[in-house]
Amino acid sequence: MGVRERRARQRKFLRQEILDAASELFVKDGYENVSMRRIAERIEYSPTTIYLHFRDKTELLEQICQETFARLAQLLARIEEQPGEPRERLKRGLVAYIRFGLENPHHYRATFMMPVPEGLKKEHHHGPDDPGMQAFAFLRRCVQECISAGKFRKMDPELVSQTFWAGIHGLTSLLIVKGQHFPWSGTDQLIHSMVDTLVAGVAK
């Protein structure tokens, strides 16, 4: 590996280290209480180093959200490419969403469970190329496919999609926040029970 490639890899690793530290601090202490200096201290670098990668903490949070959505969208895209009955493919996607959140709790909480700072609202767009909208579009397409195939009752696919998302997000959030503080009836059983119940509620 040449010097240029090694430096590029080091920059990539440092950037990810900054994002990981920022997401953990945002969740632990609250976005408003975290400074770029605090993030720099966490990873033992100077604040100047962080500013070489990110303009400010608003951009940091936006990148955390965008990259979390992008990874989730890629995961769901792979599931969508799998053959099989549309209702089962939808179930696999819903289960994968929950497990993604449990495997990435700090990033999930920073993306989905924190109040959105005002500055981020102005800069963040929900266009078709936005990773967050791509992830939700997977859900909407699967729901529409199930309706078209006669697996679901004829309902508003947008409403059904939002209902599904609210259900799996609620469970994901509960498991992240209360995972070790409630006598759950088995995490896997609970995940599948939630998904089966949501799907059965609109099935023909």
Q: So what's the pLDDT on residue 148?
A: 96
> Do the domains at 1-54 and 59-200 have one common CATH topology?
no
Crossing angle between the packed helical segments 86-103 and 157-178, to the nearest 10 degrees:
30
Structure tokens at 169: 């997000």
Return the percent helix, strand and coil in the chain, to nearest 5. Answer: 75, 0, 25
What does CATH list as the number for 59-200? 1.10.357.10
Q: Coil, strand or helix: which one is 203?
A: strand
Q: Give pLDDT tens digits for 165-202.
A: 999 999 999 999 988 789 999 999 999 999 999 999 99
Class of domain 1-54: mainly alpha
Q: Are 161 and 139 in contact (CB under 8 A)?
A: yes
Q: Give pLDDT tens digits for 19-64.
A: 999 999 998 898 889 999 999 999 999 989 899 999 998 899 888 8
From the CB of residue 107, how many other CB atoms can be counted at a distance below 10 Å? 24
Query: What is the residue extent of each domain of the chain?
Result: 1-54, 59-200
**Degrees, nearest 5: CA angle 107-52-11:** 65
Q: Please name which of 139, 116, 6 lies closest in space to residue 61, comparing C-alpha atoms.
A: 116
